[in-house]
Amino acid sequence: MVHAINHGEYERILREAGVRITRPRKVILEILADRDDHPDAMAIFRRAVRVDASISLSTVYRTMKLLEDKGAIHRHIFEGGRSRFEPADASHHDHLIDIDTGAVIEFTSKRIEELQKEIARKLGYEIVHHRLELYGRKRK
């Protein structure tokens, strides 16, 4: 999935929220805009350190929380513990995780979404959000 968002877009969101654009934040935003995978905080940190060795893991976590609060990124807690992040600009989609490599493939199914809504309604609920993850292995 190609993300239209660039780091300038992230900056705009933060600036409008009255947040300062600092050097560490700039570095992290460029990393998020640059790559198109679903990195966890440690992966972002490793990439950031190569650009500016003084950046701390805490700042990565703090920036992720900030962006999440502003709605600029989404946090996913797939199996395996750590949170992984992705830009929020792409339209809604679900994930297929390759259990051998950890790679994440995005997909959507209008039909499944409809069925979910219908199920919730029958149970007397309104869906606030959902999570559909397929864990699979490449077919040979």
Q: Which residues does residue 31 pair with via DSSP β-bridges, in sequence order? A: none
Q: Select from 1, 6, 35, 59 the one that contacts DNA (CB under 7 A).
A: 59
109 φ/ψ angles, rounded to the nearest 5 degrees: -150, 105
**What is the rounded CA–CA span in Å between residue 104 and residue 43?**
15
Instruction: Please choose which of DNA, a second copy, none residue 101 contacts, taking the beta carbon within 5 to 8 angstroms, the exact cut-off set by kind.
Output: none
Residues from 68 through 127 that contact DNA (CB under 7 A):
77, 81-83
**What is the rounded CA–CA span in Å between residue 113 and residue 116?**
5
Q: Is 130 annotated as a binding residue?
A: yes
Q: Which two tokens stand for residue 6?
A: 């660039």
Closer of 53 and 128 to a second copy (Cβ):
128
42: contact with a second copy by CB under 8 A? no
Element (H, E) at 114: helix 110-122
Q: Is 94 annotated as a binding residue?
A: yes
Q: Which residues bind DNA (CB under 7 A)?
A: 19-25, 40-42, 52, 54-59, 61-65, 77, 81-83
Q: Would you list which residues are annotated within the binding site?
A: 92, 94, 113, 130
